[in-house]
Structure 1
Amino acid sequence: MRLPEIERGDDLRHRALIRIISAVSGIRLPDAARVAFYDRAFAGPALGAWTQRALRGPSTWSVSERELMASMVATWNSCPFCIGAHRAVAVKGMDPEIADAVLTDYRTAPIPERLRAALAFLERMTTAPAELDTDDARRALAAGVTVDELRDAAAVGTIFNVIARYANALDFEIPSVEEFDTAAGMLLKRGYS
Structure 2
Amino acid sequence: MRLPEIDRGDTITNRLLIGFISMVSGMRLPDAARVAFYHKEFFSTPMGSWTHAAMRGPSPWSVAERELMAAMVAKWNASAFCIGAHGAVAAKTMKRPSVDAVLADFRSAPISPALKATLAFLEIMTLRPMELSAEHAAAALRSGVTEYALQDAIAVATVFNIIARYADALDFAMPSAEEFDRAATMLLKRGYAA
The interval holding the TM-score normalised by the smaller chain is: over 0.9
Partner residue in 2 for 1:25? 25
Unaligned runs of 5+ in 2: none
2:158 matched residue in structure 1: 158
Name 1:124's counterpart in structure 2. Answer: 124
Gaps (5+ residues) in structure 1? none
**By how many angstroms is 1:95 displaced?**
1.0
Report the equivalent of 1:88: 88
Alignment map for 1:106-121 (pairs within 5 Å): 106-121=106-121
1:76 positional shift? 0.3
**How big is each residue's C-alpha offset from its partner over 1:2-50, in whole Å with a ceiling of 9 and x where there is no partner?**
0011111111101100010011111110101111101213431100000
Partners of 2:64 and 2:110 in 1: CA distance? 15
Q: Which amino acid aligns with 2:34?
A: R
TM-score of the superposed pair, with normalisation by structure 2: 0.98
Query: What whole-Å deviation, never above 9, does each CA across 1:79-121 have from its counterpart, x for those lacking one?
Result: 0111000011101111110110000010111111000001001
Query: What TM-score comes out, normalization by structure 1 length?
Result: 0.98
CA–CA separation in structure 2 for the residues paired with 1:171 and 1:190:
24
Is residue 3 from structure 1 mapped to residue 3 from structure 2 by the alignment? yes
Aligned-residue sequence identity (percent) comes to 63
Q: Distance in 1 between matches of 2:61 and 2:136?
A: 19
Moved more, 16-25 or 40-49: 40-49
The residue that corresponds to 1:53 in the other structure is 53
Runs of 4+, deviation exceeding 2 Å: none
Task: State the aligned residue count.
Answer: 193
- 2:41, 2:106 → 1: CA distance? 36
Is the partner of 2:101 in helix, strand or coil?
Answer: helix
Matched, 1:190 2:170: no
RMSD: 0.7
**Against the structure 1 CA distance between its residues 15 and 181, is the aligned structure 2 distance closer, same or farther, given a 3 Å change threshold?**
same
CA–CA distance in structure 2, aligned partners of residues 164 and 2 of structure 1: 15
Q: What SS does the aligned partner of 2:148 have?
A: helix
State the AA in 1 paired with 2:88. Answer: A
Distance 2:120 2:192 in 1: 26
Query: Which secondary structure does the structure 2 equivalent of 1:10 belong to?
Result: coil
Deviation at 1:189, TM superposition (A): 0.9
Counterpart of 1:174 in structure 2 is 174
CA distance in 1, matches of 2:101, 2:42: 34
1:44 aligns to what? 44
In structure 2, distance between residues paired with 1:132 and 1:95: 32
Which one-letter code corresponds to 2:139 in the other structure?
R
Structure 1 Cα separation of the partners of residues 100 and 20 of structure 2: 33
Matched, 1:15 2:53: no
